[in-house]
Amino acid sequence: MLGNMRTVHLKAGDVEFTAKFREGPDLRVDDRLIVEAAVLTAQPALGKMAPDNLSAAQQALWREGHPLSFEDNMLLLGLYRATIVATLSWWSLPQPLPTMKTIGELPNDIYQALLEAIQEVSPDVGATDFDVNPDPESPTAGSGASSTPSPAGAELSPTASTTPTTASTATASSST
């Protein structure tokens, strides 16, 4: 039943803890809907992000021509928060798991450790490919419009300019 759980050992400042993240088919409907809503909301910002297949220099040039506004960054933060809440199924910390309402109350170092951990979340967390570059031949659908998962990390791969730098470390070890 729960075969796609990923166990991650995290260090946040002086606190070490273990967290388990849901992946793929183990995501509950409500969790998937939270992430899909966040992906839809973040589309303006995601459309400005550099494609993953560019070199570091090309990505830097891309970002100069497609700067992210404060609003864009807030949309991306909402996506990251939704992904943490949707995928985090258990942790060894004494406090309850965060919800969309309480995630902002986490200590910064714990939030940053979770943020790093979700960067490796399964690409099918966002189940739909919301193409941000519509096909000019078809005003009703993008060229990649489908109900299949996006390429690895498409919804969740921030550029260097949008990922906060932290002292937290995450070491993943998959388990079922």
Token couple for 158: 């921030």
Give residue 15's pLDDT.
92
Work out the angle at residue 105's Cα, subtended by the Cα atoms of residues 163 and 68, and round it to the nearest 5 degrees. 30
Residue among 1, 54, 53, 59 at smallest CA distance from 26: 1
Segments of the chain scoring below 70 in pLDDT: 1-3, 121-176
CA–CA distance, 136 with 129 (Å, rounded to integer): 18
pLDDT on residue 125? 57
For the chain, domain boundaries: 6-131+142-174
Let me know: does 154 contact 120? Beta carbons within 8 Å: no
Helix/strand/coil (H, E, C) string of the chain? CCCCCEEEEEEECCEEEEEEECCHHHCCHHHHHHHHHHHHHCHHHHCCCCCCCCCHHHHHHHHHHCCCCHHHHHHHHHHHHHHHHHHEEEECCCCCCCCCCCHHHCCHHHHHHHHHHHCCCCHHHCCCECCCCECCCCCCCECCCECCCCCCCCCCCCCCCCCCCCCCEEEEEECC
| pLDDT for 137 | 55
Q: What's the pTM?
A: 0.66
How confident is the model over 24-41, as pLDDT tens digits?
788 889 999 999 999 999
pLDDT of 144 reads: 42
Specify the pLDDT at position 91.
97
Phi-psi category of 153—alpha, beta or left, where left has phi over 0 and alpha has psi -120 to 50? left
